[in-house]
Amino acid sequence: MIGGMEKRAGGALLIAGTTSDAGKSVVTAGICRWLRRQGVRVAPFKAQNMSNNSAVTPDGGEIGRAQAMQAAASGLAPDVRFNPVLLKPGSDRSSQIVLRGKPYGFLDAADFARLGPLAAGIVQDTLAELRGEFDAVICEGAGSPTEINLRHHDIVNMGLARAADMPVLVVGDIDKGGVFASLFGTVALLSAADQALVAGFVINKFRGDVGLLKPGLDRLAELTGRPTLGVLPWHLDLWLDAEDDVAYGRVLGRPQPPRGSEWLDIAVVRLPRMSNATDAEALACEPGVRVRMTIEPGELSRADVIVLPGSKSTVADLEWLRANGLDEAVRAHAEAGKPVLGLCGGYQMLGERVHDDVESGRGTVAGLGLLPVETVFHAEKILRTPVGRYGDIPVGGYEIHHGRDTVTGERFFTLPDGSGEGARAGSVAGTHWHGAFEHDAFRRAWLAEAAATAGRHGFVPAPDVVFAAVRERVLDVLGDLVEEHLDTAALLRLIEEGAPAGLPFLPPGAPEGASHPQGTIGR
C-alpha cells in the first residue's frame, strides 16, 4: 500500500511545461525521488530530448544528462531506455540523432520529419517496455506541449500522452512572469482530445507568501476546471545537472568562502555549441572557487584559469573563438604560464590541427597550436567510460566524441595498460574525458596545481567536499520539495488511475485533424 492505495504496475505521468526551463527536469526528478522513498519502483523517461549535455550509460549508450540525474533520483543506473531519442544540435539547422543510445546520423528538420514514424515507434515500444517493468514511469516533456506548429510531429508531449493514454501536469515558472496566462493558454490552444489529458498544474520557483497566490489559483481552477497541485518555492541550490547551458548564469552555482586566504577564479568559455557544460559544476562546488561562464576576452585575461569546454561542433566553435578575439586571449594566458584546460572539443581546439570531414565537413583546420595534438574525426562515435590515473590518483570519466587524437608529447592521464590519454605541455592540458572532476581526489589535486601555476598560493582545496554527496543532497532536496509542497495523494491518483473523466474543454482549442496527420504518433 502507498498512501492508502495499492500500487498498480505500469502507472505513468507526463510532466509538461509552459516553456523550456520551466522546471520539468527537476520536478520529474523530485517526483521520482519521492516515489522511490515510498517504495515504488519508478523510472524516468524523456521520449525526445534536444541537448548537448549528455551522459554515457554502463553499456556504452548515450542519453541526456538530465535523464541520468533522474535515474539517480530513482536509484537506478543510466539506461538508454530513459531517453530513446536524443537530438544534439550542431548548428541552427542540423542535429545529430541518437536512437536508443546509438548515433543514427546528422539530420536537418526536414529529414527528422521523415524519421518521425521510426522515432515514434521506438518511443512507444520503449515506454511500453518500461511500464511493464516498473510500477511507475514519470515522463518529462520538451519545450511546451502547445507548440502548435510542431504538434503533428510530436512524440514527446501530447503526442506521447495520447498514444499512451497518460495524464499530464503542466509546470509554469512564476519567476519569468505571466504564469497564470501561460498555464491557461497552454491548455486553451490544445485540441479537445489533448485537453482531456491535462489534469492539473504545478507552479515553480515562487518567492514569497504563497497565500498571496490563492486568489489567482482559485480563479485558474474556475476557468480551467483543473487544480494546481502545488507551488514549489525558489531554491538556490538546484543548479546541478542543468538540461542546457541556458540554465546557467554568469557565475555558476553559489561560490562559498575560501578555506585559505585567496580565491581561484576560473573562466569557462561559453561556446555557441557548448556540450557537457556540467563538467564545470564539480569545480563550482568547491569553496573558494569562482566559476564564470563568459564570452568576453577581458574576463579571460583577468582569470586565473581558462577552461575550453566540450563542443558539438569543434571547427565552427574554433572559428567563433577566432572571430571574437578569444583565441588571442587564450594564447596570451598560456604564454604567461597560466593554466589552460581543454575538455573534449576544447581539447581538440588546443591542438595543432583538426581534420574534420564528419561534423563540419571543413577538412583540415589549424588549431590554436598550444598542445602537440592532431585530431582526425571519424564517422563512428566513441562512447565509453574509461578509468586511469592522474599521477598516483585513480580517476575515471566518460567519452563522447568523433575525434581520434595523435599526441607527440606528455599525456594527461595514464591508462591501465601504461598508455596515456589527453595531453599536456607546460601550463596547457587537455582530455577527452568528461566527468573526471567528479572524482574528489583528482579534482583537489588539479585545483592545487592550477592555483600554484596561477600564483594563487593562498588558495587551499577543501579536503571534505564529496561531489557524489553534494548531488545526492540536491536530489533529496527535490524529493523534500515534492513531499512538502505538492498534493502527493493527487499525484498518486493520477499515476494509478489516469486523468479524471469530464475535464472541461477550453476554447478556442486546435483543429483535431491538423494534430494527427498520417503516419505520426498519436494517429
Give the pairing of strands 399-407 and 373-384.
antiparallel
Helix (H, G, I), strand (E, B) or coil at 321: helix
Packed helices 467-485 and 488-497: angle between N→C axes, nearest 10 degrees: 90
Catalytic choice (32, 139, 344, 432): 344
- Sequence-separated contacts (24+) of 60-64 with Cβ below 8 Å: 60/101, 60/383, 60/384, 60/385, 61/100, 61/101, 61/102, 61/383, 62/86, 62/98, 62/101, 62/102, 62/103, 62/381, 62/383, 62/400, 63/101, 64/243
Q: Which of 39-65 are b and which e, b meaning 16 or more Cβ less than 10 Å from the residue's Cβ?
A: ebbbbbbbbbbbbbbbbbbeeebbbbb
Identity of the amino acid at 108: D
**Apex 107 CA angle, 352 and 89, nearest 5:** 55
Question: 291 with 324: CB under 8 angstroms?
Answer: no
Cβ contacts of residue 209 below 8 Å, gap of 6+? none
* Active-site annotation holds for 139: no
Query: 439 catalytic, yes or no?
Result: no
Work out the number of other CB atoms within 10 angstroms of the CB of residue 393: 16
Strand stretches in 302-372, DSSP E: 305-308, 310-311, 340-343, 353-356, 363-366
Q: In whole angstroms, what is the distance from residue 493 CA to residue 139 CA?
A: 16
Residue entry with cell 592532431: 374
Torsion sign across C-alpha atoms 456, 462, 467, 470: negative
Q: Which of 264, 247, 248 is nearest to 256 (CA)?
A: 264
Closest CA to 494 of 217, 232, 199, 225: 199
In what side-by-side order are the strands of the sheet with 399-407? Answer: 363-366, 353-356, 373-384, 399-407
Per DSSP bridges, beta strands 413-414 and 420-421 are antiparallel
Q: Which three cell numbers stand for residue 138?
A: 514519470
Q: Which among 333, 401, 432, 434 is annotated as catalytic?
A: 434
β-pair type (399-407, 413-414) = unpaired
Instruction: At 178, give phi and psi (nearest 5°).
Output: 70, 30
Closest C-alpha among 460, 457, 441, 466 to residue 285: 466
Q: Annotated active-site positions, please?
A: 344, 434
